[in-house]
Amino acid sequence: MKQILVLGAGGFIGSHLVKRLKAEGNWVRGVDVKYPRYEETPADDFVIGDLREQYVVRQVIDRRFDEVYQLAADMGGAGYIFTGQHDAEIMHNSATINLNVLDACHKRNIKRIFYSSSACMYPQENQEDPNNPNCREDSAYPAHPDSEYGWEKLFSERLFLAYHRNHGIEARVARYHNIFGPLGSWNDGREKSPAAICRKVAMAQDGGEIEIWGDGTQTRSFLFIDECLEGTIRLTRSGFTGPVNIGSDEMVTINQLVDIVSSIAGKQLYKRHIPGPLGVRGRNSDNTLIRERLEWAPSLTLRAGLEKTYAWISEQIRRKANDR
Ligand code: NAD
């Protein structure tokens, strides 16, 4: 039985990861400022604590864990990251957590630690053509992310790699691309486009309309949570440090995303395009490196993941309506 620490265990990916690691039979401690919102955690130990505080980090990293997954970060959807209103908090909070965690892991002689970076660290000029974005891992430099969130991820990637070089920590760095699925934010202003669109479609009348930020021709790819966990665990236990993309290479426009969700819901909807924070014009995961180094890449279709997510969000809406 491994002893595993999951930081950010109250969040979307962290709460799913704890479930998965428990199902494997490991002893798991989770840490977060909050409990998972939609389900009770199966963690053996769950500590409510603020990882910006060095003494909290030293307390929760109290042993030589076999694996540490560092997912805690100040983040949200486009409405949180791209308005510029939260830049100082995003940079300060996430960088402080990463500095504290690496220092404590090094002092405990912990060897294996996973870090979740983001596709948001890629240069914005490589993502201006919606039909041909470049997100190869080696296109990261010269760096020019389009948000302070991306700059902080880049700094922290480098921090993890520096601890790897200088202190022999087996750091594993992934660049996640738009992870979605059940138990994620869907109505609190931090939701990403798949959840927001599932909610809008579920709440719309057949034949009605839904609002879409921008002209809907911007492209993205979206990775279902189960595939994200598979890639995360495979990378952590592999001999490859990264950074490596963990994402889907099934690229769609936002308009196509709406069409898929509408067809799952069995609704005909008119799209009304309104101004809103957008991010880059195009982004897609390049999976050449992950295939090469892990002999694995995500393969679940976007539609299959959206079916599960739509079912869960519709259920949340039904429950809310019944509670009133
Ligand atoms: P999330 O916001 O649901 O989870 C992050 C968790 O970190 C939250 O539960 C939050 O409470 C916790 N946290 C924040 N500040 C903390 C603090 N000071 N002390 C303790 N806990 C704190 O986000 P997520 O979608 O689960 O993402 C997990 C990681 O993956 C993050 O690092 C994120 O940047 C990265 N990532 C996610 C995506 C995605 O599409 N979800 C894409 C790229 C990168």
Domains of the chain: 3-177+225-246 (3.40.50.720), 180-220+250-283+300-317 (3.90.25.10)
Q: Quote the ligand 1 centre to 24 CA distance (angstroms).
A: 23
Q: Quote the ligand 1 centre to 59 CA distance (angstroms).
A: 20
Our answer on whether the CB atom of 51 is closer than 6 Å to any ligand 1 atom is: yes
Q: Quote the ligand 1 centre to 285 CA distance (angstroms).
A: 20
Our answer on whether the CB atom of 73 is closer than 6 Å to any ligand 1 atom is: yes
Give residue 84's region: left, alpha or beta (phi > 0; psi -120 to 50). left
pTM: 0.96
Our answer on whether the CB atom of 230 is closer than 6 Å to any ligand 1 atom is: no
Spell out the alpha helix ranges (H) of 204-238.
225-236
Residue by residue, pLDDT tens for the chain (324 residues) are 999 999 999 999 999 999 999 999 999 999 999 999 999 999 999 999 999 999 999 999 999 999 999 999 998 656 677 788 999 999 999 999 999 999 999 999 999 999 999 999 999 999 888 888 899 999 999 999 999 999 999 999 999 999 999 999 999 999 999 999 999 999 988 788 999 999 999 999 999 999 998 899 999 999 999 999 999 999 999 999 999 999 999 999 999 999 999 999 999 999 999 987 777 889 999 999 999 999 999 999 999 999 999 999 999 999 988 887
Two tokens at 217? 């021709």
Tell which atom from ligand 1 comes closest to the C-alpha of 223: 40
How far apart CA 19 and CA 103 sit, in angstroms, is 27
Catalytic residue among 149, 163, 176, 310: 149
Contact between 14 and 71 (Cβ < 8 Å): yes
- Position 76 scores a pLDDT of 65
Identify the helix (H) or strand (E) that includes residue 310.
Answer: helix 302-323
Catalytic residue check, 55: no
> SS3 of 116, please?
strand
Tell which atom from ligand 1 comes closest to the C-alpha of 96: 18
